[in-house]
Amino acid sequence: MFYELSDEQKEFQKKVREIYEREVSPLVEEYESKETFPVQLFRILGAEHLLCLRCPKEYGGPGLDKISECISMEELNRICAGIGSGIMVQGGLATDPLLHYGSEDLKQKYLPSAAQGEKIGAFALTEPDAGSDASGIRTTAIRQGNGYRLNGMKTFITNGTICDFVTVAAYTNPERRGTGINLFVVNREDPGFSVIKKLEKLGNYSSDTAELAFDDCYVPKERMIGEREGGGLGQLEETLKSGRLTYGARSTGVGQVTFDTILSYIKGTQRHGQPLARSQAIRFMMAEMAMSLEAMRYMTYRGAWLFDRGLATMKDASIVKLFCTESLQRIVQKAMAIQKNIGLMMENPIQRFLRDARLFKIPEGTSEIQHLVIARELGL
Ligand SMILES: Cc1cc2nc3c(=O)[nH]c(=O)nc-3n(C[C@H](O)[C@H](O)[C@H](O)COP(=O)(O)OP(=O)(O)OC[C@H]3O[C@@H](n4cnc5c(N)ncnc54)[C@H](O)[C@@H]3O)c2cc1C
């Protein structure tokens, strides 16, 4: 076992850190306060090969591995979790099903433009009445002629108002609960597709979240992902496995910036005429935070290492998501406890880290769902 990043990975980490500091940091304040995603970043990061990292070179991506994606996501989320959301969906949920299950034609049509940032992708599974239980979705895709007619509503969709295409889950056979689902690619300009409204959230302000409608939206059969009707749920599960590991990296990034911010606050602060760093309560809290961060990082990169070798199970991915997102909650709460009133002020970044962290418990399976998955894989 070897627990260090390789020289090449360290070089990549240094490179992405520099790029994100240069290209993303200057945008954070403006776009967090405007509550919009800086769409220009797609082309900028596309040109730097930092969008769909695992997309092979033949489809316009850099063809890197999961460890590299986690390095990149940790660094990006250290700077801004909201922006991290939009970029994560582009290289994960929106394009992974295409990459792994799409026809050659679909791959050629969508992946190069997504990897280069010319087209923005979204992924739509959740509905007003179905989130955790994917088999409960009501959106249908009923065969008609040479295509399918989609009807239904989707909500909480990241990149929803800004997307050029969306990977949508719908029932091709509503009689077959769970097994009758397929994924389709819908283009923004397809008649019958509309953005109902943009949603305002507690955190991740600079990510774009929307409610979408499919009203007799016709898509040609070539835009179904996979060759046969049914099987979409299995495609979704594989896609979520990767995404749950990415949440480990995102949580580590937000945890690290919280830790760094609070450490420099402690070092520069006196309370009751004494350096804050002398307080045993503070020292204990910092030690706990440092310990959590170490464990989060090890777990995330072990999960990514397993994933790259085809060895990661759903249990591995769920353990990473659950442990890292829940550990992050404790880190941001401790940081807030240390700063007290100052942490609550909007000019202070700790309040943003706390709000952003709270959202991490929900997408790609809530904490409760991760518990259920782990228990199921234990044979319970
Ligand atoms: C910031 C953000 C971005 C998102 N982006 C996307 C996106 O891009 N695309 C997309 O499709 N969706 C997206 N979502 C939606 C997200 O995936 C769902 O919100 C999530 O899966 C939970 O579904 P739900 O909201 O319908 O809650 P529900 O499934 O209704 O669950 C409500 C509560 O009950 C709990 N619960 C549910 N079932 C069980 C059970 N069997 N046992 C115990 N507890 C249970 C849940 O943990 C939760 O606390 C996003 C959500 C957020 C917050």
Pocket test for ligand 1, best of 35, 156, 355 (most atoms within 8 A of CB): 156
Q: Cβ(90) to ligand 1 under 6 A?
A: no
Identify each DSSP E strand in 111-204 by its residue range.
121-124, 140-144, 147-158, 165-171, 181-187, 193-198
- Work out which ligand 1 atom sits closest to the CA atom of 122: 8
- H/E stretch holding 332 reads helix 314-339
Where do the domains of the chain lie? 7-115, 121-230, 233-377
Q: Is the pLDDT of residue 3 over 90?
A: no
Which residues contact residue 145 at a Cβ distance below 8 angstroms, ignoring those fewer than 6 apart? Answer: none
- Cα–Cα distance, 274 to 135 (Å, whole number): 58
| Among protein residues, the one whose CA lies closest to atom 16 of ligand 1 | 363
Q: How does the average pLDDT of the chain come out, rounded?
A: 96
Q: Is the pLDDT of residue 199 over 80?
A: yes
Active site residue 364: yes
The tens digit of pLDDT for each residue in 354-380 reads 999 999 999 999 999 999 999 999 999
Top-level CATH class of 121-230?
mainly beta
Q: 248-261: string of b/e by CB count within 10 Å (b at 16+)?
A: bbbbbbbbbbbbeb
Q: Is the pLDDT of residue 23 over 90?
A: yes
Residue with tokens 């909500």: 155
- Work out which ligand 1 atom sits closest to the CA atom of 128: 26
The residue from 48, 200, 364, 368 that is catalytic is 364
Average pLDDT over residues 264-288: 94
Pocket test for ligand 1, best of 135, 362, 367, 371 (most atoms within 8 A of CB): 362
Of all residues in the chain, the percent with pLDDT exceeding 70 is: 100
CA of 254 to the centre of ligand 1 (A): 21
Top-level CATH class of 233-377?
mainly alpha
The tens digit of pLDDT for each residue in 203-242 reads 999 999 999 999 999 999 999 999 999 989 999 998 999 9
| Among protein residues, the one whose CA lies closest to atom 51 of ligand 1 | 363
Top-level CATH class of 7-115?
mainly alpha
Q: Is the pLDDT of residue 1 over 70?
A: no
Q: Cβ(204) to ligand 1 under 6 A?
A: yes
Backbone angles phi, psi at 133, to 5 degrees: -95, 90
Identify each DSSP E strand in the chain by its residue range.
121-124, 140-144, 147-158, 165-171, 181-187, 193-198, 209-220, 224-225, 270-271, 274-275
Q: Provide the CA 283 distance to its chain's centre, in angstroms.
A: 32
- CB-CB contact of 300 with 249 (8 Å): yes
Q: Which two tokens stand for residue 90?
A: 């582009």
Average pLDDT over residues 309-332: 98
Q: Which two tokens stand for residue 192?
A: 């019958």
Of all residues in the chain, the percent with pLDDT exceeding 90 is: 94
> What was the pLDDT predicted at 353?
98
> What was the pLDDT predicted at 326?
98
- Cα–Cα distance, 36 to 34 (Å, whole number): 5
The tens digit of pLDDT for each residue in 100-158 reads 999 999 999 999 999 999 999 999 999 999 999 999 999 999 999 999 999 999 999 99
- Work out which ligand 1 atom sits closest to the CA atom of 201: 1
Q: Provide the CA 352 distance to its chain's centre, in angstroms.
A: 17
